[in-house]
Amino acid sequence: MKLRPITQREPGIYGPGSVALPAYVTGILLVGLPLIVVIVFSFLQRGEFGSGVIHKFTLDAYRTVFFETDLMGNQSLNFSFLKIIFRSIMLAFTVTVICLIVGIPTAIWIALQKKSTQRILIALVTIPFWVNVLARTYAWMLLLADGGLFNQIGAPVLLYTSWATFIGLTYAFLPFMVLPIYASAEKLDKSILEAAFDLGASGWRVLIRIVIPMIRFGIFAGIAIVFIPALGAYVQPSLLGGNKSMLIGSLINDQFGESRNWPVGSALAVLLLLMTALILLATRRRKLEFAS
Amino acid sequence: MKLGISKLTMGYRKRLALASIATAVSLLVGLAIPQANAASLYPSKPVGTELNLYNWSNYIDPELLKRFTAETGIKVNLGVYESNAQMLAKLEAGARGYDIIVPTDYMVQIMQKKGLLQRIHRSSYPNGSNLKPEFVNPYFDRGRIYTVPYLHGLTGFGYLKDKVTTNPTTWKEFFAAIPSYPGKTTIFDDKKEVIDAALRSMGYKPCTRSLTQLQAAQDLIKSIKPNLNTIASSGNIGRLSSGTSVLLMMYNGATYKAKLANPNVVFVYPKDGLPLWQDNFAIPVGAKNVENAKIFLNFMMDPKNIAQASNWAAYNNGIAGSEKYLLPAMQADTAFSPTSAQMALGVAMAPCSTAVNDLYTKVWTAFKG
């Protein structure tokens, strides 16, 4: 934040644009092109025997997503897809809120430790990444099962309830919340906090009026990188939650798999993308407002 | 999730390009060498030392593969999948380099219609005549032009006889018993298996077009949903033997394995009918090591070798003469070898039409909610 804007650097043959070239190439090749294919597929006709596509324009996929003909032939707005999308958003929202509540104090506390302790704590936060998420989810299954560790110490059997889903997701995404908040909290100018205390501010007041505003970029980043993958969460709800209600992630998976309807799968992916983009835009707007 | 889709779609474009090149090349080769057909007969010696097997996860004895390597000098690289749909999606998206795949019956038909399978010329194999007669002309591959049989089994249900005392023998009784064991029952995460079972329990036929019948099936499965602990196709052996679930949809071989861990386990061949499924070896179009693949197919049609696979997986096979190599205790158990009356209940299931499959999707979406 204290850096001068990049355009004020000494001019040279390698301008900022050319340095970013590999990033552009990677972005266009690995993100841009596949996205275009997904968008195009969502407007095509379904292939023979179900899978694949036929190169003919149609809005059928979106019609299937938004309208439904029930088994008795009545046409209506398709609430099942809307319900699934709403459920996914609520799940992601709840997980993000829990991660915020747990993540902010954790990150600030780490940032206030000695440098050497900080390094150890950050290493501890990242250790779970060394093990595959599926293996860690199975470990949670054992912990939460009937007769598992939690049950033995008196907790009810949580496996196959939404509580288990929330525990698994919070556990999986918490590091993504802690790390960016820590990164901005670590740069906090401690003398400002001292000044606030000297002027008589209470601990809460310092937290709400000074610390939180100063680490807001870390918080926004944390919200974005927790909320967005949580929208597509798939492993924890199916393994821990009992797989009893569909989420957008499993729905898209099913369209490309068992249901063999690639255009509808693509249409759902496009809608998910639009929602994600809206959320990103919203947080970005907030950032600009704060910055000005 | 998004990444997965991008991979698929990228590959699809590539597949089109590759397919057109492959067509052009094969046309040229066909013109140049009229007797190209000879190359597809059983090979006299392996080509290279690699074989890429794409199989269901946990579905072949690793020791058997080691023995294959020891006997033939061909190294097996194993890739695994969790469902037919996953395998199909991967191949359709242009995956190349798999020499052997293991599609289930109905998937053989779909893949063959899509032109994804090679003819294997089984009769030129030394072990090609070892098939049990009832495995020579399955509905999905008359005369076994594209496949050789691997293992087969039946989808019924299992329960713990010390917990479930009503002694259910039909799908009707299975669904009726579920509400008595809330939080202790499980069904597959499989649209077709579940809806078929629900239809059978009411005396209807699978793949029905009747909307009232499908509606009734939907109402039935929705009504039992609150009593399920989970909807899952894997992990059920542990669930049943540990008592996490006391009544659940199961394959016969998996139930046999659960029985080894818990003697209270019972497998039921429901009297209102059950699906008989068969997994098969096939060589996909685009395979790199076709000759080695054929050596593998021949190896797996040897009674002793296929018996080892059966002993490990607890599912029976379609090769005559393998009986004498099967574990006696396993062979004596009806969960492994159904009686002829039980076997007669099993029906080989053709896939539903795309239109009916879409109706099934509606029922399933309404059920999962």
Residues of A in contact with B9 (CB under 8 A): 34, 37-38, 41, 266
Q: Is the pLDDT of residue B4 over 70?
A: no
What CATH number did the domain enclosing B189 receive? 3.40.190.10
First-to-last C-alpha distance (Å) of chain B: 20
- Nearest CB to B5 within list A238, A254, A256: A256
A71 vs B215: CB contact, 8 Å cut-off? yes
The answer as to whether B55 is a domain residue is: yes
Q: Is the pLDDT of residue A291 over 90?
A: no
**B6, B221, B231, B249: best mutation site toward chain A, by most A Cβ within 10 Å?**
B6
- Among A125-139, B193-207, B262-276, which stretch is predicted with the lowest mean pLDDT? A125-139
pLDDT given for residue B349 in this prediction = 80
Q: Is the pLDDT of residue B15 over 90?
A: no
Q: Are residues B140 and B200 in the same domain?
A: no
**Nearest residue in B to A85, CA atom:** B369
Residue with more model confidence, B219 or B233: B219
Residues of B in contact with A80 (CB under 8 A): 365-366, 369
pLDDT given for residue A94 in this prediction = 95
Which strand (E) or helix (H) includes residue A197?
helix A190-198
Looking at CA atoms only, how far is residue B128 from chain A in angstroms?
31
Residue with more model confidence, A251 or B14: A251
Q: Are residues B230 and B294 in the same domain?
A: no
Residues of A in contact with B214 (CB under 8 A): 71
A72 vs B211: CB contact, 8 Å cut-off? yes
The pair of three-digit structure tokens given for residue A127, joined into one six-digit string: 């250790």
- Nearest CB to B86 within list A145, A146, A257: A257
**Nearest residue in B to A49, CA atom:** B354
The answer as to whether A25 is a domain residue is: no
Structural domain containing residue A108: 81-291
Domain count, chain B: 2
The answer to whether B271 touches B200, Cβ cutoff 8 Å, is: no
A11 pLDDT tier (thresholds 50, 70, 90): low
Q: Is the pLDDT of residue A4 over 70?
A: no
Q: What is the mean pLDDT of residues A256-275?
A: 86
- Nearest CB to B110 within list A49, A71, A242: A49
The answer as to whether B288 is a domain residue is: yes
The answer to whether A150 touches A143, Cβ cutoff 8 Å, is: yes
B113 vs A145: CB contact, 8 Å cut-off? no
What CATH number did the domain enclosing A103 receive? 1.10.3720.10
Domain count, chain A: 1
Average pLDDT, chain B: 88
Residues of B in contact with A33 (CB under 8 A): 10
Structural domain containing residue B148: 44-152+277-332
CA distance A243 to A162: 10
Each residue's pLDDT tens digit, B257-303: 999 999 999 999 999 999 999 999 999 999 999 999 999 999 999 99
Each residue's pLDDT tens digit, A54-100: 888 999 889 888 887 767 767 777 777 778 888 998 999 999 999 99
Q: Are residues B237 and B98 in the same domain?
A: no
What are the angstrom distances between the C-alpha of B75 and each of A259, B46, B51, B337? 36, 11, 6, 33
The pair of three-digit structure tokens given for residue B66, joined into one six-digit string: 């080691």
**Nearest residue in A to B232, CA atom:** A243
pLDDT given for residue A183 in this prediction = 95
CB pairs under 8 A between A and B: 117
The answer to whether B278 touches B104, Cβ cutoff 8 Å, is: yes
CA A19 to chain centre: 29
pLDDT given for residue A66 in this prediction = 85
The answer as to whether B17 is a domain residue is: no
β-pairing, B228-231 vs B274-282, is unpaired
The answer as to whether B325 is a domain residue is: yes
Looking at CA atoms only, how far is residue A272 from chain B in angstroms?
9
CA distance B104 to B85: 10
**Total-model pTM:** 0.78
* Mutual angle of helices B191-201 and B354-368, in 10-degree steps: 90
- Nearest CB to A146 within list B5, B113, B244: B244
Q: Are residues B345 and B197 in the same domain?
A: yes
Residues of B in contact with A261 (CB under 8 A): 358, 361
What are the angstrom distances between the C-alpha of B67 and each of A182, B63, B64, B283? 54, 6, 5, 21
CA distance B360 to B351: 12
Q: Are residues B67 and B126 in the same domain?
A: yes
Residues of A in contact with B369 (CB under 8 A): 80, 83-84, 244-246
The answer as to whether B302 is a domain residue is: yes
The pair of three-digit structure tokens given for residue B201, joined into one six-digit string: 């329990």
Nearest to residue A103, comparing CAs of A280, A227, A187?
A: A227
Residues of A in contact with B113 (CB under 8 A): 49
Residues of A in contact with B2 (CB under 8 A): 38, 232, 269, 272-273
The answer to whether B55 touches B78, Cβ cutoff 8 Å, is: yes
Q: Are residues B139 and B62 in the same domain?
A: yes
Residues of B in contact with A55 (CB under 8 A): none
The answer to whether A259 touches A81, Cβ cutoff 8 Å, is: no
Each residue's pLDDT tens digit, A213-263: 999 999 999 998 999 889 888 889 989 998 888 888 888 888 887 777 889
**Nearest residue in B to A247, CA atom:** B369
A34 vs B6: CB contact, 8 Å cut-off? yes
Q: What is the mean pLDDT of residues B26-54?
A: 61
Residues of B in contact with A254 (CB under 8 A): 361
B191 vs A258: CB contact, 8 Å cut-off? yes
Reported ipTM: 0.71
The answer as to whether B182 is a domain residue is: yes
* Mutual angle of helices A162-185 and A115-126, in 10-degree steps: 150
- Among A255-264, B99-108, B166-175, B324-333, which stretch is predicted with the lowest mean pLDDT? A255-264
The answer as to whether B84 is a domain residue is: yes
Radius of gyration of chain B from its Cα atoms, rounded to whole angstroms: 22
Residue with more model confidence, B240 or A2: B240
The answer as to whether B20 is a domain residue is: no
Q: Are residues B124 and B200 in the same domain?
A: no
Each residue's pLDDT tens digit, B120-131: 988 889 999 999
Residue B361 burial (C-beta neighbours within 10 Å; 0-12, 13-18, 19+): buried
pLDDT given for residue B35 in this prediction = 38
Q: Are residues B186 and B210 in the same domain?
A: yes
Q: What is the mean pLDDT of residues A6-29?
A: 71
- Nearest CB to B1 within list A52, A234, A246: A234
- Nearest CB to B228 within list A72, A244, A258: A244
The answer as to whether A123 is a domain residue is: yes
Spell out the SS3 assignment of chain B. Answer: CHHHHHHHHHHHHHHHHHHHHHHHHHHHHHHHCHHHHHHHCCCCCCCCCEEEEEEECCCCCHHHHHHHHHHHCCEEEEEEECCHHHHHHHHHCCCCCCCEECCEHHHHHHHHHCCCECCCCHHHCCCCCCECHHHCCCCCCCCCCCEEEEEEEEEEEEEECCCCCCCCCCHHHHHHHHHHCCCCEEECCCHHHHHHHHHHHCCCCCCCCCHHHHHHHHHHHHHHHHHEEEECCCCHHHHHHHCCCCEEEEEHHHHHHHHHHCCCEEEECCCCCEEEEEEEEECECCCCCHHHHHHHHHHHCCHHHHHHHHHHHCCEECECCCHHHCCHHHHHCCCCCCCHHHHHHEEECCCCCHHHHHHHHHHHHHHHC
